Amino acid sequence: MGITAEMVLFWIFAVPLIASAAGVVAARNPVYAAMSLVSAFFWLAGIYVLLTAHLLAFIQIIVYAGAIMVLFLFVVMLLSLTDAELGLEKVTALKWVGITGTAGLLALVVSAITQSGPRAMKAVGEDFGTVKAVGRILFTQYLLPFEATSVLLLVAIVGAVVVAKEKI
């Protein structure tokens, strides 16, 4: 397969995505980690557009980069941890075991993916992944889970308020 424009776009989005994801793990200060995560979400939204998931790309930016990360930053600012409280990351033997295990897991999954062989993408219609099409499937086939999600969010709101209250 020759180098197509889509392939170039994929790498343009994928390399910074992995770099900013690594930045989340590498950062010691939670604010830097949050900023890396916001940038990772934006690059991932680009990948979603490549997958013709336009609605999900916008939800990714609005809900994740917008709402969830603001929540994270609020908590970081609320706690305002000092350098002493952040402490030094101790590199223990157990952590090396964890890193090795993760690398093994990654190698296993990637080898399984490569062995599965190249599979062609199906051709999709004009309306694949648009607001209209995804909305239709959400409100017909997935109506019950959709309504259950609203209950879940309500429970989460009540739970968050109760847990974070001064006196439990």
Q: Pick out residues in 120-159 that bind other proteins (CB under 8 A).
A: 120-124, 128-129, 133-134, 137-138, 141-142, 145-146, 149, 152-153, 155-157, 159
Q: Rule CB under 8 A: which of 40-79 touch other proteins?
A: 40-41, 44, 47-48, 50-53, 55-56, 59-60, 63-64, 67-68, 71-72, 75-76, 78-79
Nearest to 63 by CA among 75, 71, 74: 71
CA separation for the pair 22, 43 (Å, rounded): 13
Which residues, in sequence order, are CB contacts of 3 under 8 Å at separation 6+? none
CA separation for the pair 156, 154 (Å, rounded): 5
Q: Rule CB under 8 A: which of 80-119 touch other proteins?
A: 81, 85-87, 89-90, 95, 98-99, 101-103, 105-106, 109-110, 113-114, 116-119
Min CB(79)–other proteins separation in Å: 6
**What 3-state DSSP class applies to 52?**
coil
Size of interface with other proteins, in residues (CB under 8 A): 90
Q: Are 53 and 129 in contact (CB under 8 A)?
A: yes
